[in-house]
Structure 1
Amino acid sequence: MKKLNLLFIVSIFLVSNLSFAQNESAIEKEILELHKPTKKIRDSIVALQKGIVPKIETETDSIVKNQLILRLDDLENAKDQNDINELKLDFVFAKSHPNSFRSLQLIRIHVNRFIGMNFYDTFVDVFNNFSPEIKNSEKGLEMAEKLKYFKQSKVGSQAPEFSLKDINDKTISLDEFKGKQYVLIDFWASWCGPCREELPYIKELYQKYHQQGFEIISVAKDDKPDLWKKAIAKEKIEMWRHIFTSEDTKSILTDYFVQGIPHKVLIDKNGIIIGKWKGSGENNKHDLQKQLKSIFEAE
């Protein structure tokens, strides 16, 4: 009898797992079908980008070259918008499949990306709709942790406090700027090409608005302090504050939910996050310039 009971339990376990595998397989097919239109658009944009890059590299006319660069940037923006449209579809899909681990995976990969930056409330809504089994799974608990850091680092939140040593071994804390200055935290690295390409315009902003109450704190995700210091000297950006994140001090990256760089956070005099930009590109540059202009030319 015990042997029969054991066989019965094993059979139920196997059938249950087979059923789960079949359900997840069916869901995967649904997702592939769901993504067909956005995938088609993405592939078309990437093909156009691949055609423009070689032209930029060989073009000698500066006017034409700038036009090509702007066109490339427009295509990148179009690709981002297409990805956002796909994310919105994924939200609807995940909410209608609350018992699927694949649904959790579908939205989890976007939570710290640029395209998910403005959708905190939707992420929370979709996550809360998952079954207890999904939410309490290992990946579910990881997602809950991500949402915690997402919340505290989004626009409108009180900026996470920190107290760290800068390049001159002086303690720097966010609290010292409250009531006095607007602070731009620029997460970068010496090895990050897009980060360094942005430094000339960041310097312009600093020189234009520093006397009016604008400060910059650069936080480096470098592995080697010597390369970090050489990059600061080469780029001539010693005029503002610099922090190197070691194993002991990288909590600032977690607190500000920084996964990729460049990543910028603008904080007002009350310590509230009023701007956040992930990645590079002309849109981000113009948005930051516009926001600083509205702050300092209005005061």
Structure 2
Amino acid sequence: MKNIWKVILLTLVLVVLILVVKFGYGYLTGQYLGVENSNIKQELKEANDFEVYDEEGSRVKLSDYKGSKPVVINIWASWCGPCKAEMPYFEDAINKYSDKVEFLMINLTDGQRETKEKALKFLKDNNLEMDILFDLDYSAANAYNIRGIPRTIFIDKVGNIIYDREGALNDEILETNIKKLIK
């Protein structure tokens, strides 16, 4: 009789565990892939301005683009594996959408681990033909409290953040959020 109760209890625990794993995995997968819960209303947050530099050393501010086109900001470094993995997705998106969306590919340039030369060499070695900007003064990093890279921020035409992602993204997530910007 004791064995029957143990089997019943063990079966119940196993069923509960399976349900927790199934629903927990589904929820976390949705969070990871950027799938929004339609029951949650997202508040728009105004994008923080920053100042970075182009290859020639000219200053570029995020606010320079406000009111003209939506902006996709990607903050990256050449030593970052996930950053390198998503770069081809960005190059494809830039080639496809640069007439409708501005892409600011911002390199975290600390002068030691990451230099302008290392970033430019990475692009050349990987046949990536995109313009990049350099965060020499940590202006973008501080404006968005960068704790991890890559970081991608999607900003609408009027300067509101519509999606902010820390961590790598795939081509589907990039495409979906660019299409939201364009609408």
TM-score after normalising by structure 2: 0.69
2:161 aligned residue? 273
How far apart, CA to CA, are the structure 1 residues paired with 2:52 and 2:169?
30
Counterpart CA distance in 1 for 2:151 and 2:44 is 17
Query: For the residues of structure 1 that align with 2:169 and 2:152, how far apart are their CA atoms?
Result: 12
Aligned AA for 2:104?
A: I
**Aligned residue for 1:29?**
none
C-alpha contact (below 8 Å) 1:187/1:262 kept by paired residues: yes
Contact map agreement 1:199 1:235 (CA 8 A) in 2: no
Matched, 1:189 2:85: no
2:114 counterpart (207, 210, 224): 224
Q: Hey, what does 1:250 align to over in structure 2?
A: 138
Q: Alpha-carbon deviations, 1:211-234, whole Å to 9, x = none? A: 1x2111122224231212211222
**Contact persistence 1:215–1:240 (CA under 8 A):** no
2:102 corresponds to which of 215, 222, 231: 215
Deviations 1:24-49 (A, max 9, x none): xxxxxxxxxxxxxxxx99xxx9xxxx
SS in 1 for 2:168: coil
What is the CA deviation profile of residues 131-152 of structure 1, one whole-angstrom value per residue up to 9, with x for unaligned ones? xxxxxxxxxxxxxxxxxxxxxx
Quick one: distance in 1 between partners of 2:166 and 2:70? 19
Using the alignment, how far apart are the partners of 1:214 and 1:155 within structure 2? 22
- Residues 163 and 254 of structure 1, relative CA distance in 2, 3 Å threshold: closer
Q: Kindly provide the CA deviation profile for residues 148-183 of structure 1, in whole angstroms up to 9, marking residues without a partner as x.
A: xxxxxx962111111222222121111211111111
Structure 1 residues 172 and 281: alpha-carbon distance in aligned structure 2, compared to 1, 3 A threshold: closer
- Is the 8 Å Cα contact of residues 183 and 217 (structure 1) preserved in structure 2? yes
- Per the TM alignment, residue 270 of structure 1 is displaced from its structure 2 partner at its CA by 0.7
Aligned twin of 1:162: 50
Give the 5 Å matches for 1:47-196.
78=25, 81=28, 156-196=44-84
Structure having the higher Rg: 1
Contact persistence 1:155–1:275 (CA under 8 A): no
For normalisation by structure 1, the TM-score amounts to 0.44
Query: CA shift at 1:239, angstroms?
Result: 3.0
Structure 2 unaligned regions, length at least 5: 1-16, 37-41
Residue identity opposite 1:240 in structure 2? D
Separation in 1 of the partners of 2:129 and 2:142?
A: 25
Contact persistence 1:162–1:252 (CA under 8 A): yes
Deviations 1:189-241 (A, max 9, x none): 10111111111111111111111x21111222242312122112223444333
Paired residue for 1:290, among 173, 176, 183? 176
Aligned CA RMSD, in angstroms, stands at 2.9
- 2:47·2:159 contact (CA, 8 Å) conserved in 1? yes
Q: Judge conservation of contact 1:187–1:261 (CA < 8 Å) in 2.
A: yes
Pair 1:227–1:204, CA change in 2 (3 A): same
Preserved CA contact (<8 Å) 2:91 2:129: no
Structure 1 residues 219 and 278: CA distance shift in structure 2, 3 A:
same
